[in-house]
């Protein structure tokens, strides 16, 4: 075990020495990789923020059931009890038409504007808050209310949330496709770089073989080199994403305040940043492995 650790430590030290000796080329390669990773990273950050915003919006989504006129109080209470018994329902609020017309009148500057109406045109209503507004969860409540004779009209305001969910799924697919395409570009860049390193140290490799170095011992530094390139590019990408989000945070918040929203642009360093570092390091290792398998 100690011998195995010593071999890996020696390989990493050799890689760091080579990268330090050509630090400018190393920095340029890592910058190219970092900018390449930043592009799909921006898409993932955008989709992640929209998904967080949609979760907070879903909490306020409701179904509005407008009841038929002249219903008995016991009939209305029975409907309320039946709706509250559903596991998908979080809260049911009953607003009689007298309270509804009163609330409407308070919105006008002239308080007696509705006093001349011959009768109250507003119906009794139930405002139902769902525990989860996913389509499969909201559908049973919607079907139950539509089947009740007491309900004259049902307004479901979660349709736009379904459209938002569809847009988020589409955004994730686009970001994933974009990331795969740029991942292929990363593999090409790192693979060619490692291949050039192999050709540069070809004499050293031949000498190592003559003195009995194993195939794994020879390959190990180049695999580490590809991983370091990927990790360095990932760190640069995370730094760029953090700087971009920090720069856009205040304008986005000002825009959200104009729409009476508390939305804030955030960059989840652990989730998104960790995923970027892991993916870029893995891609670097794969690219180096491909470069070594091409060696004759």
Residue 195 C-alpha from the chain's centroid: 36
Q: Which of 96, 94, 70 is nearest to 80 (CA)?
A: 94
Q: Which CATH number is 62-157's, of 3.20.20.140, 3.30.70.3040, 3.40.50.150, 3.40.190.10? A: 3.30.70.3040
36 vs 186: CA distance, rounded Å: 7
35 vs 242: CA distance, rounded Å: 13
The model's pLDDT over 136-153, given as tens digits with 9 standing for 90+, comes to: 667 788 888 888 888 888
39 vs 172: CA distance, rounded Å: 14
Q: What Cα–Cα distance (Å) separates residue 279 from each residue in 208, 276, 288? A: 32, 5, 14
75 vs 69: CA distance, rounded Å: 12
pLDDT over 60 (residue 164)? yes
The model's pLDDT over 255-266, given as tens digits with 9 standing for 90+, comes to: 877 777 777 888
Please state the φ and ψ torsions of residue 265, each to the nearest 5 degrees: -80, 125
The model's pLDDT over 222-243, given as tens digits with 9 standing for 90+, comes to: 888 889 999 999 999 999 999 9
pLDDT of residue 43: 86
**Mean pLDDT value across the chain:** 79
Q: Other C-beta atoms within 10 Å of 277: how many?
A: 18
Q: How confident is the model at residue 10 (pLDDT cuts 50, 70, 90)?
A: low
Q: Which of 24, 27, 29 is nearest to 194 (CA)?
A: 29
Taking a C-beta distance cutoff of 8 angstroms, is the pair 148, 90 a contact? no
Taking a C-beta distance cutoff of 8 angstroms, is the pair 95, 127 a contact? yes
The model's pLDDT over 49-97, given as tens digits with 9 standing for 90+, comes to: 877 776 655 555 678 888 888 788 788 888 888 888 888 888 888 888 7
Domain boundaries in the chain?
2-57+162-293, 62-157
The model's pLDDT over 110-136, given as tens digits with 9 standing for 90+, comes to: 555 555 555 666 788 888 887 765 666
The model's pLDDT over 165-192, given as tens digits with 9 standing for 90+, comes to: 778 788 888 888 888 888 888 888 888 8
């Amino acid at each position: 075990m100690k011998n195995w650790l010593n071999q890996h430590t020696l390989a990493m030290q050799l890689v760091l020495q080579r990268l330090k000796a050509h630090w400018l080329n190393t920095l340029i390669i890592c910058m190219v990789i970092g900018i390449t990773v930043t592009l799909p990273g921006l898409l993932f950050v955008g989709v992640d923020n929209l998904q967080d915003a949609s979760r907070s919006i879903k909490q306020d989504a409701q179904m509005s059931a407008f009841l038929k006129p002249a219903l008995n109080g016991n009939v209305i209470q029975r409907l309320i009890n039946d709706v509250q018994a559903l596991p998908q329902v979080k809260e049911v609020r009953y607003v009689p038409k007298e309270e509804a017309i009163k609330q409407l009148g308070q919105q006008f500057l002239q308080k007696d504007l509705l006093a001349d109406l011959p009768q109250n045109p507003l119906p009794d209503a139930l405002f139902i808050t769902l525990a989860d507004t996913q389509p499969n969860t909201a559908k049973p409540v919607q079907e139950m209310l539509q089947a009740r004779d007491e309900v004259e009209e049902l307004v479901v305001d979660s349709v736009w949330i379904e459209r938002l969910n569809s847009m988020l799924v589409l955004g994730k697919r686009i970001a994933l496709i974009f990331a795969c395409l740029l991942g292929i570009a990363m593999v090409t860049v790192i693979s060619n770089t490692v291949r050039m390193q192999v050709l540069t140290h070809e004499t050293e490799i031949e000498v190592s073989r003559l003195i009995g170095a194993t195939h794994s011992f020879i390959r190990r530094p180049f695999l580490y080199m590809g991983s370091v390139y990927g990790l360095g590019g990932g760190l640069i990408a995370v730094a760029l994403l953090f700087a971009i989000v920090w720069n856009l945070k205040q304008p986005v918040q000002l825009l959200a305040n104009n729409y009476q929203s508390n939305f804030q642009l955030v960059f989840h360093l652990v989730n998104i940043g960790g995923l970027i570092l892991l993916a870029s390091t893995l891609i670097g290792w794969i690219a180096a492995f491909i470069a070594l398998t091409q060696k004759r």
